[in-house]
Chains A and B, each alone.
Chain A
C-alpha cells in the first residue's frame, strides 16, 4: 500500500498527522500541502504531533515530507512533537536539523542585471591586458635569470619537453608540409604550364615554403598540438594546487614550469621550420617529376638558383617568433586557469585561439617589416 496521510485534531490546538503505508521515494507520495492548508485555516493550532504506527516501510521519501512539515511548523511557530514517528526517522530528522542552514553564504543566486554584466565583462577584458603584461614581465625576468645562470629549473624537464615538442612533432609536421608543398606545386604548375613555364614551379615552391608557408603551417600545428598541451598541463597543476605547492616551497613556478617550455619551443621551432621547408620542396619535386615531366636535376638546379640565404633566414626568424608566441599563449592561459575541469577546457581552447591570433598578427607585421627592409 503506498503512503497515506490523514489529519486529525487530537484537541482543538493539537493537529495530529497520521501516516500509513509505504513511504518510499519511488512511490507517488501525498504532499505536505494538505498540512499547510489545515495550518492556514486553523490559526489556533499550537502543537503538531505524529502517528506513524501504520508505516510499513520508508526511506528518503518520508524524510522529505517531514522536512517540509517541520518547515511549515517553524514558519507558523508551532511546536513539533516527533514522538509518534518511527524511531529511525526521528533520529534522521534530528541529524538533518542539527546544523542550521547557513544563511549568509555570500552567494547571489540571481544573475546580475544586464548593465552590470556588461560592466563586469568590460572590466574583466580591461584587466586582461595588464595581466598579460604582468606575465610577460615575469617571463622576461625569468629569462634574465636564465642568462645569469640563477634560474631554478630542471635540465631533465627541459630535455623531456624538447623531445616532446621537437622529435614527437615530426610525423604531423612532415605530413602537413608534404601536402602543402604538393598543393602549392600542383596549383602553380597548372597555371604556369599555360605559358610553358613549368620549370618555375621550383621557384614558387622553394620561396613559398621557406619564406612563408613552412613557418606558418608549423606555427598553426604547434599551436594546436603544443600550445594546447602546455595550457592543459599547467591548468591541471593549478587545479591540483601543484603550482601553489611550488610557491610555498620557494620555487618560482615561472622558472620551473614556464621557462623550460618557452625555451624548448624557441629552440625547436627553427629546426622544425627548416625541416618543413625541405619536406615541402621535396613534395614539389615529386609533383614536377611525376606530373609535369621535369627532370630531378633540372628541378634541383632551378631550386638552388632561386634560393638565397635571406629567404631561409626570414622563414627561420618568423618560425622562432611564432614559437615564442605559442609557448607564451599556452603558458599564460595555463597559469591563469581556474580550479575546475571546465576551466582547464577553457584554458586549452583559449591557448589555441590566442596562439593562432598572435601568429596571424605577427605574420602580417613581419611580412611588412621584411618588405620595408627589402629582405
Chain B
C-alpha cells in the first residue's frame, strides 16, 4: 500500500513473473508453458477465446490454485514455495474482482467494502464510512451504500465488486472481465478508473477482457492464450499485435474476425 502518488516511476524489474506455468484440472491440461513478466505499474491484459483458461490463469496468480508445474513470482519471491505467513503477506497486496462479482450476499454494499478495511486497518468506523463512500463514488455507486447485492443490477454488482477490490489501495489489482455487462458509458468510466489507479497510485493491474476498445485504450502489454494449442501464442503491446502479429489467429481476434 505504499503509493507514491507524485514521484511515481515505473521500475524496470518485474512485479509479477510467471515461469513455465502449466495448469491442469485433474489430468486435463488447460494451458502449458506460460512465461511472461509484468513490470510494476503495468496494465496487463489476458485475452483469448472463451474457455481457453483465462480465469484459471488468474486463479493461479492469486494463489487460489497451485500450479501443476512452474512458478508464480511476486517481486522475485515464489508464491507457492513461500511460508504461509509470507503467502498471507503477499496476498494482502492483492485486490481481485471476480467474473461473477462474488459480493457477500448477506452484507450491504457498504459492509462489503468495509469488511477488508475493518479487518486490515486501524481506521475508526467514521473513517471507514468515508473510505467506503469514496470507493463507491469512484465506481459511480454513491448513494447505494445500504443496498444488498440482490437488490441491484448485474452491472452494478460488478462495479460494487470493483469498489471492494480497491478498498485497501492494493499494489496489484486483478480484474476478471470487469466490463462484461456494463453499458458503454460505465465501461468507459471503468477504463478511466483503471488508468487513473495506475497513473496516480502506481498500481499494477491485470485484466482479463474481450472488450477490444478497452484492450487498446488501457493495455500496455497483453498475452494471448490459444485454446487450440493450449499455450500462449503472442505477447506484447496490443496495438502492435493487431497490426503486426505474425500469427493470423491473434490478428483476427484483435480485428474482430476480419483479416
Contacts and interface: CB of A to CB of B under 8 A. Distances in A.
B106 A340 contact: yes
B83 interface: no
Classify the interface of chain B: helix, strand, loop or mixed. loop
B153 interface: no
Contacts of A55: 5-6
Given A91-B196, A340-B148, A57 B134 contact: no
Interface in A43-92: 55-60, 62-64, 67-68, 86-89, 91-92
Interface in B17-47: none
B131 interface: yes
Q: How extensive is the interface on chain A, given as a class?
A: 35 or more
A98 B137 CA distance: 8
Contacts, number: 109
A245 to B, nearest CB: 15
B169 A101 contact: no
Contacts of A101: 137, 142-143
Contacts of A341: 104-106
Among A64, A87, A105, the one with the most B-chain Cβ atoms within 10 Å of its Cβ is A64
B86 interface: no
Contact of A340 (B1, B131, B147, B150): B150
A37 to B, nearest CB: 18
Contacts of A63: 134
Interface in A200-253: 239
Interface in B74-105: 104-105
B137 A60 contact: no
B152 to A, nearest CB: 10
Contacts of B127: 64
A59 B167 CA distance: 11
A58 B137 contact: no
B224 to A, nearest CB: 30
A338 B105 CA distance: 11
A62 B143 CA distance: 21
Contacts of A339: 105, 150
Interface residues of B, number: 39
Nearest to A67: B134
Interface string A305-347: 0000000000000000000000000000000001111110000
A96 interface: yes
A103 interface: yes
Given A100-B142, A102-B144, A105-B144, A92 B200 contact: yes
Interface in B95-134: 104-106, 121-123, 127, 130-131, 133-134
B137 A96 contact: yes
A99 B137 contact: yes
A58 B134 contact: no
B106 A57 contact: no
B169 A25 contact: yes
Given A89-B5, A342-B106, 9 more contacts: A25-B1, A56-B7, A59-B5, A59-B169, A59-B201, A89-B200, A96-B137, A99-B140, A99-B189
Interface of B: 1-7, 104-106, 121-123, 127, 130-131, 133-135, 137-138, 140-144, 146-150, 169, 189, 192-193, 196, 199-201
Interface of A: 24-26, 55-60, 62-64, 67-68, 86-89, 91-92, 95-103, 105, 107, 109, 239, 338-343
